[in-house]
């Protein structure tokens, strides 16, 4: 069961973006839409009354969520998404990869061109029209199987060189385990020994990571990781380990020591939000207090 849900911040167009992904990917659909309350919003949100608040969509059975908000944050390549096309699963994997590349490129831009690379005979990195980054890769059918969608966390700018530290930290927090680890070779100079590519599991889900020197972007609320927690004790435990930036705490959101944003929410948050005055109560919280919903 997927308990960590990547969440993307959109500027007034979350529903449009979710519909775009549902049409661009071959096996994708919008599964749930929530709306802002019609009244009682704080002044900075008043324009959103009755509008879409969140949209949950699936790609190949993998859940993601869009938050419909303002221009405060925008996704950037510090968190992107691998899309693995496996020829042993899909005989037309290469054609389907190229098809998706064309759709995501409509209004977007290539960050790495679609071509042959040492790690894949067909790979490209693209930022779509909404600022979301995707790494499309034709995988080795003889390699270890990996899911179709995998979030990729890039440690650049002020946190460059800390990817290995992050793997150790996250796997300790979420009882995870490391997977493949590929360091930069000695001839790479200053980055030698740092993470060129690695993957790891948290709560049974795969993530990838790397160190990337020379990048001018880092983590923001543009992409966060929402963790569905089983009860207050588990939520409190994760909060105590992850929250390292007090000024980033709001409505169940926190930022860890690397700056990566997390949302720690009860697994039954939908039911809690159906209770009277739930939205106003949530807006007044930092860490979520389940009992306060009544």
Cβ burial of 274 (10 Å; 0-12, 13-18, 19+) is: exposed
pLDDT at residue 143, rounded to an integer:
79
157 belongs to a structural domain: yes
95 belongs to a structural domain: yes
Whole-number percent of the chain with pLDDT over 70: 100
Please compute the mean of the pLDDT values over residues 210-220 and round it to a whole number.
92
**Residue-averaged pLDDT of the chain:** 96
Provide the pLDDT confidence category of residue 179 given band limits of 50, 70 and 90.
very high
Using the predicted structure, report yes or no on whether residue 213 has a pLDDT greater than 90. Answer: no
232 belongs to a structural domain: no
Please count the structural domains in the chain. Answer: 1
Please compute the mean of the pLDDT values over residues 125-137 and round it to a whole number.
98
20 belongs to a structural domain: no
pLDDT at residue 40, rounded to an integer:
85
Give CA angle at 219 (3, 257), nearest 5°: 75
Q: Is pLDDT larger for residue 107 or for residue 214?
A: 107
**Residue 172: which domain range?**
79-212
109 belongs to a structural domain: yes
What's the whole-model pTM score? 0.96
93 belongs to a structural domain: yes
pLDDT at residue 222, rounded to an integer:
98
Query: Which DSSP string corresponds to the chain?
Result: ---EEEEEEEES-HHHHHHHHHHHSSSEEEEEEEE--SS---GGGGGGTTSEEEEEEEETTEEEEEEEE-TT----TTEEEEEEE-TTT-TTHHHHHHHHHHHHHTT-EEEEEEEEETTEEEEEEEE-TTS-EEEEEE--TTS----SEEEEEEEEGGGTT-HHHHHHHHHHHTT-EEEEEEEPPGGGGGGTTSEEEEEEEETTEEEEEEEETT------TTEEEEEEESSHHHHHHHHHHH---GGG-BTTEEE-TT--EEEEEETTHHHHHTSTTHHHHHHT-SS--GGGG-
Give CA angle at 150 (130, 4), nearest 5°: 90
Please compute the mean of the pLDDT values over residues 209-225 and round it to a whole number.
94
Task: Output the domain CATH number for residue 144.
Answer: 3.30.720.110
pLDDT at residue 145, rounded to an integer:
87
- Per the document, the length of the chain is 294
249 belongs to a structural domain: no
172 belongs to a structural domain: yes
């Amino acid at each position: 069961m997927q308990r960590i849900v990547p969440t993307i911040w959109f500027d007034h167009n979350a529903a449009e973006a979710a519909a775009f992904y549902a049409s661009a990917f071959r096996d994708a659909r919008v599964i749930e839409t929530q709306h802002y309350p019609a009244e009682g919003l704080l002044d900075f949100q008043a324009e959103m009354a009755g509008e879409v608040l969140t949209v949950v969509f699936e790609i190949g059975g993998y859940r993601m969520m869009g938050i419909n908000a303002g221009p405060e944050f925008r996704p950037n390549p510090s968190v992107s998404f691998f899309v693995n096309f496996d020829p042993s699963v899909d005989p037309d994997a290469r054609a389907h990869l190229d098809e998706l590349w064309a759709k995501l490129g409509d209004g977007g831009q290539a960050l790495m061109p679609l071509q042959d690379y040492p790690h894949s005979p067909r790979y490209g990195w693209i930022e779509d029209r909404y600022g979301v980054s995707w790494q499309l890769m034709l995988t080795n059918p003889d390699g270890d199987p990996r899911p179709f969608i995998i979030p990729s966390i890039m440690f650049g700018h002020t946190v460059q060189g800390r990817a290995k530290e992050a793997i150790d930290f996250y796997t300790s927090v979420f009882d995870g385990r490391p997977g493949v680890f590929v360091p930069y070779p000695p001839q790479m100079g200053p980055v030698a020994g740092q993470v060129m590519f690695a993957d790891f599991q948290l709560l049974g889900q795969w993530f990838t990571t790397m160190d990337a020197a020379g990048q001018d972007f880092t983590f923001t609320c543009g992409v966060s990781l929402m963790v569905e927690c089983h009860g207050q004790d588990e939520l409190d435990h994760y909060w105590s380990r992850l929250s390292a930036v007090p000024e980033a705490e709001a409505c169940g959101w926190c930022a860890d020591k690397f700056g990566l944003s997390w949302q720690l929410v009860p697994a039954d948050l939908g039911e809690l939000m159906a209770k009277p005055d739930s939205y106003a109560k949530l807006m007044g919280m930092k860490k979520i207090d389940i009992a306060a919903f009544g």
